[in-house]
Amino acid sequence: MDHFACLAPMTLFARCLSTPPVPCLLPHLTLVLPFPVPHHVSVTSSSALKLPTFDACVLPGVTTVLLLIRRHHPEMAPKRIGIVGYGHLGKYLAEKVKESPDLELAFVWNRTTSLVENDLEDKYICRDLENCSMFSPDLIVEVAHPAISKKFGPMFLEVADYLIGSPTALASQEVETSLRDAAAMQGLYIPAGAFWGTEDIMKMADEGTLKDLKVTMIKHPSCFKLQGELYSKNEQICEETAVTLYEGSVRTLCPLAPNNVNTMAAAAMAAHNLGFDGVQGCLIADPQLREWHIVEIEVTGPEIAGRKFSVKTTRQNPANLRAVTGTATYASFLSSVKRAGGKGPGVHFC
């Protein structure tokens, strides 16, 4: 028997019952619950409940009404989160998910589990991603490495909704196609990260009025985690002047800076008429910028009588030296996790 959750208006209880529900409608009864009520739950009259959407059951001889709902009811039951990767972000998320009444930890996977075992109860530890469906996740969140999506992304989308924390993986056309195809079953969710104005840019892309999009990221050299030629270019910076490390397509940039340009990958997915080849990315290392990560977004629209539509935003995120991820990013990622899921098949932003 699957678990059930008991509901009060708009609020979720702990899972508590597996009694087979006897369907009936009983408006205007006071809801009395025969078990301790968690502190974050308020109990009010059942008349406030939308009864027809639930299975209701009356215990014989008692004026007690229990409202039962299947665990996977998207609006009401806690969303079960599977976390893939247990680095900085994974650890933060696992903690926050456990604290949050509307989220529930389904599993945590890490490439090596030795240290995870000190932190987490055994019931949460997934040792083999192939078997992650055994943990019944509603949403799988990748916070490990772009390589995970290539290998497991389509499988994740068979099991649950999938939030791709490292969307730079999608710069590979093969990975993008395989995930878009697999998202015919469940939803693929892309965290906006430091990207601003996703909805507006998507609307322009839908209409075909988005002509250009450029995302510029400016950080202290120690805040970049780069590969190949960009790595050596960044290492050689010794003067106090800012250096442009890269300017060109986001497609080429993603494999060179996989941990830094998730925001640009999100931009390339939102600006789908331009895509990874059309959206421009620019990385600037500025030795004077010791306390901020800056992201500039320049949107260009159609030209009317010599005048071009344009929007430019500048996002200033407080960040410490050597921090690849700005402090506001953790909270923003958590809110993406909360917003993700339940929107059906296709690609969604959160």
Ligand X SMILES: *[C@@H]1O[C@H](CO)[C@@H](O)[C@H](O)[C@H]1NC(C)=O
* Closest CB to ligand NAD among residues 44, 313: 313
Q: Which of 27, 34, 38, 87 binds ligand NAD (CB under 6 A)?
A: 87
User: Which of 163, 131, 83 minimizes the C-alpha distance to 339?
Assistant: 163
Which of ligand X, ligand NAD, none does residue 270 bind to, with CB < 5 to 8 Å depending on kind? none
Q: Tell the smallest beta-carbon distance from residue 309 to ligand X (Å).
A: 46
Contact (Cβ atoms closer than 8 angstroms) between residue 248 and residue 280: yes
| C-alpha span between 97 and 104 (Å, rounded) | 6
**Residue number with the shortest CB distance to ligand X?**
115
143 binds ligand NAD (CB under 6 A): yes
Task: Select from 19-27, 30-38, 59-67, 142-150 the region that touches ligand NAD (CB under 6 A).
Answer: 142-150
Residues near 127 by beta carbon (within 8 Å), at least 6 away in sequence:
109, 113
Phi-psi region of 186 (alpha: psi -120 to 50; beta: other; left: phi over 0): beta
DSSP 125: B
The region of 26-34, 104-112, 195-203, 220-228 touching ligand X under the rule CB under 6 A is: 104-112
State which of residues 49, 262, 268, 337 lies at the interface with ligand NAD (CB under 6 A). Answer: 262
Nearest to 110 by CA among 93, 128, 96, 92: 128
Taking CB atoms, the residue at the shortest distance from ligand NAD is: 87
From the list 164, 29, 7, the residue with the least C-alpha distance to 75 is 7
Taking the least distance from each CB to ligand X, the nearer of 132 and 201 is 132
Cα 163 to Cα 143: distance, rounded to the nearest angstrom: 9
Of 276 and 333, CB closest to ligand NAD = 333
Residue 60 CB partners (closer than 8 Å, separation 6+): none
Looking only at residues 114 through 173 of this chain, which bind ligand X when binding is defined by CB under 6 A? 114-116, 127-128, 130-131
Q: How many Å apart are CA 85 and CA 58, to the nearest integer?
A: 44
Report the residue number, 112 or 288, with the smaller CB distance to ligand X: 112
By the criterion CB under 6 A, which residues form the site for ligand X? Answer: 86, 110-112, 114-116, 127-128, 130-131
| Interface positions with ligand NAD (CB under 6 A) | 85-90, 110-111, 143-145, 147-148, 165-166, 191, 193, 259, 262, 325, 329, 333
